[in-house]
């Protein structure tokens, strides 16, 4: 498979790791990182929400598009490596040069070409032969929503969707509100509203995609199962990917180096940890959990996450949350005093 106008090759099949933010997708990517038969791109793509398609509609000039790609794909990559103390582990500047070399203006609007070129450049700069790789792995938050589009670009693509109890998922997000999400304009309520909308969409797509593609193309992996039974679940994942199971699949790494857990609460965990599985009662309020159960109850039960509250408790909490949500997102004040001209 070749990007347009390039002689760079990538190794099929492409495997996309997907799932809602803070549900365990980074952990899965890092567990696959050290396997010699898998090419694992070590940073989020961020393309489908930060570049394609909405941003391009208002930014058509080629030089502006190139600048945006540089920030999304390479400046962010270098920053992530810096945060993990691994900036010296990879030549991001070399990757950037190879990616932009011979990149045509036509390719700037072609998601297939951009993704293929990025992965091909990564394989080349790491000295890997595409023919020796049994899978090439890419990760992006909530990419399960775009699975039908991705299959148009890469018909043989496969997917690994990580699922997590939405109450625990929100607890993981809530831990980062003050340190991270507030800087992006999110408070705790906005983070909860985002989870209700995006996690529900993601869980519904999990059922749909698995039914349409079959379990040989679409692998579902619950976070709770992974952290409590890591070897069993990674053996299943290795089988899905068509690679041999190796003990390295139990050790999270980034570019071959041990890496800490991706948690806003910090800690020095360099191994799979079940510390935050099932701890939502200690980390979020009952009203937040009740609101989540009201909105995502059907999807939760589909994947084995039992409700903890009555229907009445859920409804009361959801009604209270709606007061904030309606005012924040949907209410237009037609009673405001008219301004004098």
What SS3 string covers 122-141? HHHHCCCCHHHCCEEEEECC
Closest CA to 130 of 17, 248, 37: 37
- Location of structure tokens 């930014």: 59
pLDDT, mean of each 10-residue run, the chain (341 residues): 47 88 96 95 93 81 94 95 86 97 94 93 91 93 93 94 98 83 76 95 97 96 97 98 96 90 59 92 97 98 97 98 89 70 58
Residue ranges of domains in the chain, CATH in brackets? 14-330 (3.40.50.300)
332 sits in the region (left: phi over 0; alpha: psi -120 to 50; else beta) called beta
Q: 10 Å Cβ neighbour count for 44?
A: 23
Torsion of CA 133, 214, 234, 31, to 10 degrees: 60
3-state secondary structure of 178: coil
Confirm if 221 and 160 have CB atoms less than 8 A apart: yes
Predicted local confidence at residue 2, as pLDDT: 44
Predicted local confidence at residue 155, as pLDDT: 92
3-state secondary structure of 272: coil
Euclidean distance between CA atoms 225 and 303, whole angstroms: 12
Residue 139 — φ and ψ, nearest 5°?
A: -130, 140
Predicted local confidence at residue 260, as pLDDT: 74
Euclidean distance between CA atoms 107 and 121, whole angstroms: 15
Euclidean distance between CA atoms 219 and 328, whole angstroms: 37
What's the pTM?
0.90
What sign has the CA pseudo-torsion 239, 245, 251, 256?
Answer: negative
């Amino acid at each position: 498979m070749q990007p347009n106008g390039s002689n760079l090759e990538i190794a099929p099949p492409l495997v996309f790791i997907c799932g809602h933010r803070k549900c365990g997708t980074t952990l899965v990517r890092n567990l696959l990182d050290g396997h010699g038969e898998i090419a694992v791109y070590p940073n989020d793509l961020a393309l489908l929400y930060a570049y394609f398609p909405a941003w391009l509609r208002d930014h058509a000039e080629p030089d502006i598009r190139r600048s945006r790609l540089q920030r999304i794909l390479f400046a962010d990559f270098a920053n992530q490596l810096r945060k993990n103390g691994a900036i010296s582990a990879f030549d991001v500047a070399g990757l950037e040069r190879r990616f932009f070399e011979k990149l045509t203006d036509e390719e700037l609007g072609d998601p297939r070409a951009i993704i293929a070129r990025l992965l091909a450049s990564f394989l080349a700069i790491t000295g890997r032969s595409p023919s020796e790789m049994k899978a090439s792995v890419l990760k992006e938050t909530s990419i399960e929503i775009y699975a039908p589009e991705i299959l148009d670009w890469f018909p043989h693509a496969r997917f690994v969707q990580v699922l997590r109890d939405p109450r625990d998922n929100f607890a993981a997000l809530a831990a980062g509100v003050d340190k991270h999400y507030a800087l992006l304009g999110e408070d705790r309520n906005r983070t909860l509203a985002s989870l209700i909308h995006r996690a529900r969409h993601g869980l519904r797509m999990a059922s749909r995609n698995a039914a349409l593609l079959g379990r040989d193309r679409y692998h579902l992996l619950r976070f709770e199962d992974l952290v409590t039974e890591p070897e069993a679940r990674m053996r299943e994942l290795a089988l899905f990917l068509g690679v041999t199971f190796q003990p390295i699949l139990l050790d999270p790494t980034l570019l071959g180096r041990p890496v800490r857990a991706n948690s806003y609460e910090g800690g020095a965990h360099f191994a799979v940890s079940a510390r935050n599985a099932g701890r939502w009662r200690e980390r979020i309020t009952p009203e937040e959990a009740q609101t989540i159960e009201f909105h995502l109850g059907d999807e939760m039960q589909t994947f084995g996450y039992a409700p903890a509250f009555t229907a009445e408790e859920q409804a009361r909490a959801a009604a209270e949350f709606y007061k904030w949500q309606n005012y924040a997102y949907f209410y237009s004040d037609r009673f405001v005093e008219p301004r004098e001209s």
